[in-house]
């Protein structure tokens, strides 16, 4: 089994690369999706978040009000650390459980948006970084996701720098160009990952 960490800045196109890897046969473990699952209604994770932040972070339906919680933790490192202390261990445990189901020759891709920020690179056999220039990211966030420019810049500034991400990369996907330029690169990387998975077996 080959454990791959996949990351990239917001708007760099990591989700598309992740989708391509799955289409080639990768086992995908999506940290964002798991982070949502571990705080669904009725979970110990949601109970712990409510105990820490109070019932006002729930919607009237009893689900987590993400914008409200986000507003609390976004500019407060202490509150963010408290949230991470609840969610990260749950995500780690669930990720390990899913990884345990993969076969010996599988390529397991961990899609982890904050891999660089949280110093997680050593957990993986290698790290793939989806890279795009900040102006490309900004354009995509405004044009495709409907963010205001200031909102997009704030989201980008809250993440690791481009240089920090590139520093932890074993392989880099350059996604500054059009979508059709992306797949040939990802296919080349996939071939290398398959080869390494075979060797690791």
Assess whether 114 and 185 both reside in one domain. yes
What residues have CB less than 8 Å from 90, skipping those under 6 apart?
38, 44, 45
The per-residue pLDDT string of the chain (201 residues; one tens digit each, 9 = 90 and over) reads 999 999 999 999 999 999 999 999 999 999 999 999 999 999 999 999 999 999 999 999 999 999 999 889 987 989 999 999 999 999 999 999 999 999 999 999 999 999 999 899 999 999 999 999 999 999 999 999 999 999 999 989 989 999 999 999 999 999 998 889 999 999 999 999 999 998 876
Q: In this predicted structure, what is the pLDDT of residue 75?
A: 79
Distance CA 23, CA 5 (A): 17
Q: In this predicted structure, what is the pLDDT of residue 89?
A: 94
Assess whether 116 and 146 both reside in one domain. yes
Give φ, ψ of 143 to 5 degrees.
-80, -40
Q: Which of 103, 128, 144 is the last residue of a domain?
A: 103
Q: What is the dihedral of CA 191, 129, 89, 95, to 10 degrees?
A: -20
Q: Which of 88, 103, 118 is the last residue of a domain?
A: 103
Q: Which of 103, 120, 136 is the last residue of a domain?
A: 103
Buried b (16+ CB within 10 A) or exposed e, 166-185: eebbeebbebeeeeeebeeb
Residue 146: give its domain's CATH number: 3.40.50.300
Assess whether 120 and 62 both reside in one domain. no
Distance CA 20, CA 190 (A): 9
Assess whether 194 and 117 both reside in one domain. yes
- Burial (CB count <10 Å: 0-12, 13-18, 19+), residue 124: buried
Rounded to a whole number of angstroms, the distance between the first and last alpha carbons of the chain is 6
Q: In this predicted structure, what is the pLDDT of residue 157?
A: 92
- The count of structural domains within the chain is 2
What residues have CB less than 8 Å from 36, skipping those under 6 apart?
none
Q: What is the DSSP letter of 55?
A: G
> Where are the strands (E) in 44-192, listed by range?
107-111, 126-131, 171-174
Q: What three-state secondary structure class fits 107?
A: strand
Assess whether 99 and 110 both reside in one domain. no
Counting every residue written for the chain, the total comes to 201
Q: In this predicted structure, what is the pLDDT of residue 74?
A: 81
Pairing assessment for the beta strands 27-30 and 171-174 based on DSSP bridges: unpaired
């Amino acid at each position: 089994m080959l454990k791959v960490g996949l990351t990239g800045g917001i708007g760099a196109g990591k989700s598309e690369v992740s989708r391509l890897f799955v289409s080639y046969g990768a086992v995908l473990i999506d940290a964002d999706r798991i982070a949502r699952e571990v705080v669904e209604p009725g979970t110990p994770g949601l109970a712990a978040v409510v105990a820490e932040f109070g019932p006002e972070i729930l919607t009237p339906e009893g689900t987590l009000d993400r914008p409200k919680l986000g507003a609390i933790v976004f500019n407060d490192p202490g509150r963010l650390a408290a949230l991470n202390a609840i969610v990260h261990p749950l995500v780690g445990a669930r990720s390990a459980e899913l990884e345990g189901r993969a076969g010996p020759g599988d390529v397991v891709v961990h899609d982890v948006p904050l891999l660089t920020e949280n110093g997680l690179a050593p957990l993986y056999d290698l790290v793939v970084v989806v890279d795009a220039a900040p102006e490309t990211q900004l354009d995509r966030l405004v044009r495709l996701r409907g963010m205001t420019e200031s909102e997009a810049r704030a989201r980008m500034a809250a993440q690791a720098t481009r240089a920090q991400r590139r520093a932890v990369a074993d392989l880099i996907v350059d996604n500054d160009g059009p979508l059709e330029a992306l797949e040939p690169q990802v296919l080349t990387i996939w071939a290398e990952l398959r080869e390494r998975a075979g060797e690791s077996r």
